[in-house]
Amino acid sequence: MKNFEYFEKMRDFLTSSRVVKILYLLGFTILITTIIASQNFFFQSIIDNGISKKDIIAQKTITVEDVKRTEQHRREVAQKIEPILVPAEDDFIKTNLETLQKSIIQIRRKNKSEKEKIDELNILFDFSDNSKRNFVIDFFLHVDEPSLREAFDKASISLVNILQKGITEDDYERNNIKTLIQNNLVSNVSKRQVSVITALLEQVIVPNLVIDDSATEIAKINAQESVKPYKVTFQKGEKILFEGEPVTRLKRDALREAGYNLYELNWQGILSVYTLVLLVTLIFLAYLKFFEKTYLEPRFLSLSGILVALTCLTAVLLPTGSSPYGLPIPAVIIVTAIFLSPRIAFLLSTSLLIVLTVGMQYNAQFMITFIILSLIGMITISKIRYTRRFDLIKVGFYLGVAGVLIMLSLYFIDKCLIDVSNVFIVRNCAYIFISGILNSILVLGASPLLENTFKIITPYGLAELGDHNQPLLKRLQMEAPGTYHHSLMVSTLCEAAAEAVGANPILARVGAFYHDIGKLKRPLFFVENQSYFSIENPHNKLNPRLSKMVITAHPKDGLEIARKNGLPNIICDFILQHHGEGIAKYFYNQAVQEEGAENVKEEHFRYTGPKPNSKETAILMIADAVESAVRAMKGATADEIENIIDKIIVERLNDGQLADSPLTLNDLKLIAQAFSRILRGMQHNRIKYQEDIALEFGKNKIEMPNKILDEDFEKKIKELEESKQPKQNTENWSNNEKKDL
């Protein structure tokens, strides 16, 4: 018993709606991942552990870059670039020399012993050459002032010469300063001055040329980019790989260019693809949940899933070397925009493109091209007229032209950077242009099949249902002409009101055509048909409760007829909801009069519902009541029409019949205005025409102006008088009246 209860709980858990949804989600994502990953089996069939299992022959001429050799050459060129040196500040070196010279003069002038002066000079100078030390010190302390000034001046001039040529770090580190100084001394320098000037400059000279790392790096990059890629060409019929040959980077690139997918996936790779598919799917579902709840129904999700799966399967099965621009992405955009909405079409196509680009290793241009194309398609499809099917072919043409322009712009940018084959560009442009047109034709032909399969009504389907030659509408016209005429009037009201409040006017109009088809079951029980057949009202002989049952049954009768004739669910909603749970007031009041108010309950005289749950069905409820009420008041004035409209709207609000609809008070105001405008046009006055206008004129003794009749007119009068038609008194007619005759 416990085991049975356990299995019962498990069954309830597994069949719960939440678990079923999760299972569907997992099943779909696993299916898409399997399709994407299946391409790796083709790779495994030709390569095993990096070794070719068979000969691979080029089916076309292929040119690929030898990346390894190109990179090696670029590194060699970069290494040959000498560092770029820039001059540093020279003023501080000159200042140091001047300071050193002033210090020597101050030491000479100090009133100190010679030993103290020598010690101070030893602090100022770092004599690396001891052989010259005594001579230099003796020169600084004992030479006369003019000779000292002359040595200082020549040192300053020599320093300028050296700084102009520049001193690098290498010069400084290699201890070439002394040689550099001696090679750049000014002319007319005596031998004893050479040692002194050299000693002075050695103390102040530092490198004045430093390496500019940024400029050097840029120079290396420019040098690398100037290296032309090494190209290797495989002619058509030439072997790309031999059996047993290791697959190098060059060979892999050649195989990829030939159309082989070399996307090696281990379990980690497959898990990564699955994670991407799952993430994209969850984002799509989250968008629907928060912004487009209407399309979370299984039929819409099934259509979207099948479109994605078929596109991925097509991508995997494309022949080797085929262009991915031939994929049916335009068909996905068009179908989703028509069967769901343009915004969802953009989101679905973008999600699909992300998965295909990553999973199939397509380049970024593929994704960019079709994402922009999705935006264009979203805007274009939302503007087409669904009464003309050829407009759908135009959409395919526009998508093809837009795709070509997008691709050309991207490829022209590429040609500025790398060499792109013109044949390659033309081929892809042809693919995307032809694909746009063919996909639109395919969608046009497949739309009826998709509508019947997924039970989704499109604007094209609505346009077909709105044809008055449809069997049900023809039956309504012949068997219930009053109801047919009433439906036409209501459809006009619904269409105008739907346009005013931003609802679907085509759906509102077509729904109004069919809302009363239930009256076909018993047309003579409805007052609008009784005058046409000139019969007595059968309700006069019926009990109010029985009459109520007959009248309130027509929504359910209509649903039965609709199902038999294959009308879509969205039209069935109009049939069931156009009375909501309203009360059949006429029969209710009649029952009250006959039985007394205490013996009659309102709920016994109400329609079974449900209440309208969309803008279109709510508009129909109001329009149905308003048209009937205004028709019953023959010759109603504009004020009376407006009062009737307002009264009916308020009654429906107070009775709670609009509680489930998304109509706002502002919407109701706009609906009332639209109804008033249309009904005023329907209720316009006409002049009264007489059956025998000539006799009427004769009775009223209309006098004719004293004008002579022309001969032609007199002949016509005589002919009329002699004809079999009743004689007409034209004696007192005016000229204009005679012309009208």
Q: Residue 374: which of 412, 345, 411, 338 has the closest Cα?
A: 345
- At 411, the amino acid letter reads Y
Residue 587 in domain: yes
Is 216 part of any domain?
no
Residues 355 and 476 grouped into a single domain: no
Residues 513 and 549 in one domain: yes
Shared-domain flag, residues 149 and 193: yes
Q: What stretch of H or E contains 52?
A: strand 51-52
504 and 572 in a single domain? The answer is: yes
Q: Where are the alpha helices (DSSP H) in 502-596?
A: 505-514, 527-533, 544-552, 554-564, 569-577, 585-595
> Residue 580: which CATH number?
1.10.3210
Residues 619 and 470 in one domain: yes
Where in the sequence is the domain holding 377, given as residue range(s)? 267-456
On the question of pLDDT at 738 being above 50, the answer is: no
**Is residue 44 one of the residues assigned to a domain?**
no
Q: Would the pLDDT of 195 be above 60?
A: yes
CA separation for the pair 586, 593 (Å, rounded): 11
More confident residue, 725 or 304: 304
* Number of domains observed in the structure of the chain: 4
How do 209-211 and 56-57 pair as beta strands? unpaired
Q: How many CA atoms lie within 13 A of 146 on its CB side?
A: 0
- Reduce the DSSP state of residue 233 to 3 states and report it: strand
User: What is the reported pLDDT for 31?
Assistant: 94
Q: 645-669, pLDDT tens digit by residue? A: 999 999 999 999 999 999 999 999 9
166 occurs within a structural domain: yes
Residue 710 has pLDDT above 50, yes or no: no
Last residue of a domain, one of 682, 708, 731: 682
pLDDT of residue 250: 74
Looking at residue 724, its pLDDT comes to: 42
Higher-pLDDT residue of 83 and 446 is 446
* Number of CB atoms found within 10 A of residue 432's CB: 26
Residue 68 lies in a domain: no
Does residue 37 form part of some domain? no
Position 481 in a domain: yes
End-of-domain residue from the set 400, 432, 456:
456
Domain co-membership, 449 together with 467: no
Residues 663 and 728 in one domain: no
Q: What is the radius of gyration, based on Cα positions, of the chain?
A: 49
Q: Among 456, 480, 511, identify where a domain stops.
A: 456
Nearest in space to 350 (alpha carbons), one of 311, 320, 292, 313 = 311
What is the model's pLDDT at position 725?
A: 44
Specify whether 306 is located in the same domain as 338. Answer: yes
Instruction: From 511, 591, 590, select the one nearest 555 (Cα to Cα).
Output: 511
The confidence band for 741, taking pLDDT boundaries of 50, 70 and 90, is very low
| Listed range (54-58, 382-386, 581-585, 732-736) with the worst mean pLDDT | 732-736
- Over range 452-459, report the average pLDDT: 86
Domain membership flag for residue 441? yes
Mean pLDDT score of the chain: 80
pLDDT band at 265 (very low <50, low <70, confident <90, very high): low
| pLDDT confidence of residue 532 | 77
Q: Give yes or no: residues 580 and 606 share one domain.
A: yes
Query: Does residue 595 share a domain with residue 471?
Result: yes
User: Does residue 276 sit in the same domain as residue 343?
Assistant: yes
Residue 289, pLDDT score: 92
Same domain, 421 and 468: no
